[in-house]
Structure 1
Amino acid sequence: MALMSATFDYDRVDQMFTEQGAAGFPAELHGHLVGRLSAGSRLDHTAWLDAAREVIDGRGQLSEADKVLLIQLHDASLAQLAGSGFDLTLLLPDDDSTIDRRTLALGQWCEGFLGGFGLVGREGELSEEATSVLADFAAIAQVQADLEESEANEADFMEVMEYVRMAVLLLFSECQPADKPQDQPPASLH
């Protein structure tokens, strides 16, 4: 799977979590962010950093480099969602990681998505399809990984990951307020 860019290498974000003594997980953080964005929320950079600190749940202070990384992750994720529609990349371990590690991370991503999505107050009911997607994400978040490395498990993982990616795009398009411009990045930190 393609990474968002070299800057958003899962291992780099994982390193930040380790340095923070984090209770959370990198995939969960990205899922939380994308969940909020998909539900129609737009956080300025300060509010995003505050939300990220909560999800990271670490013991240390974020360095300036960590803050820059998190802001870039936010801006890139919003740009991917609001772009042509098929550019979204989930922040997950790369293909060299074990199928167990990638599967657990996908479950963490879905758990984070549900948490972020659920924090955003929305007007109106979700479509039946969107409600079904959220139920699917809840099931994926419960994944228990003890998988053998096999072509079948690899194919299943790729199919579920692609489903999640496309389902997020559906939720994003359904939940965007009509009165907000979709391609405006938040004001930058000064």
Structure 2
Amino acid sequence: MALMPAAFDYDRVEQLFNEQSAAGFPAELHGHLVGRLAAGARLDHGTWLEVAREVIDGRGSLSEADKVFLIQLYDASLAQLAGSGFDLTLLLPDDEAAIDRRTLSLGQWCEGFLGGFGLVGRKGELSEEASSVLADFAAIAQVQTDLEESDANEADFMEVMEYVRMAVLLLFSECQPADQAPDQPPASLH
């Protein structure tokens, strides 16, 4: 599985959230972004920065470095989704973090995904499989975090995370407008 470039590790996003005294969560931001992209939306960079500010829900203004970082996160996420392989990496705490923290972040990621996906107007109905995936994501978003460190919990987490990753790719492939290249913004946006 290809990883998000090193500059996009969870700790970097968490630092941005801490600097902003943010009410939101780092995993939720990436989930929201990927949800919008998977549903077929393409945002120009200015619009993405406005969306990111709303999801971050911070108290300060973003520095130029933060803006560049968020634009790079957008571009990298879209490139991973539109890539020819299965390159999508969920922005979550690394494997060294406690299972509780990683599980909570996966739930936040799914919650963000549902929010972003739901904000995009789509034509036509979703397939039964896609609707089932969204229901699964809603269940994952309600995860309880009272987990002990164990091989069984680690295996369960990895299985659920891989399911989410593959399900996102399924939704992305199903929801792209036929007249739009998957990695290009719509003609109406500059």
**TM-score relative to the length of structure 1:** 0.96
- d(CA) in 1 for partners of 2:85, 2:31: 17
Residue in 1 that maps onto 2:128: 128
The amino acid that maps onto 2:48 is W
Residue in 1 that maps onto 2:113: 113
The amino acid that maps onto 1:98 is A
Q: Secondary structure at the match of 1:51?
A: helix
Superposed CA RMSD in Å reads 1.6
Residue in 2 that maps onto 1:50: 50
List runs of 5+ in structure 1 lacking aligned partners. none
- d(CA) in 1 for partners of 2:6, 2:183: 23
1:3 positional shift: 3.9
Q: Secondary structure at the match of 1:61?
A: coil
2:78 matches 1:70: no
- d(CA) in 1 for partners of 2:63, 2:38: 28
1:85-128 per-residue CA deviation (whole Å, 9 max, x = no partner) reads 40000000000000000000000000000000000000000000
Residue in 1 that maps onto 2:164: 164
Residue in 2 that maps onto 1:148: 148
Change (3 A) 1:2 1:83: closer
Residue in 1 that maps onto 2:30: 30
Identity %: 86
**TM-score relative to the length of structure 2:** 0.96
1:84 positional shift: 1.2
- d(CA) in 1 for partners of 2:58, 2:138: 25
What are the equivalent positions in structure 2 for 1:88-107 lying under 5 Å apart? 88-107=88-107
- d(CA) in 2 for partners of 1:16, 1:79: 22
1:186 positional shift: 8.2
Q: Secondary structure at the match of 1:139?
A: helix
> Is the CA contact 1:27–1:109 (under 8 Å) kept in the aligned structure 2?
yes
1:154-188 per-residue CA deviation (whole Å, 9 max, x = no partner) reads 0000000000000000000000000011233689x
1:25 positional shift: 0.5
1:9-39 per-residue CA deviation (whole Å, 9 max, x = no partner) reads 1001000000000000010000000000000
List runs of 5+ in structure 2 lacking aligned partners. none
1:6 positional shift: 1.0
> Is the CA contact 1:45–1:186 (under 8 Å) kept in the aligned structure 2?
no
> Is the CA contact 1:3–1:91 (under 8 Å) kept in the aligned structure 2?
no
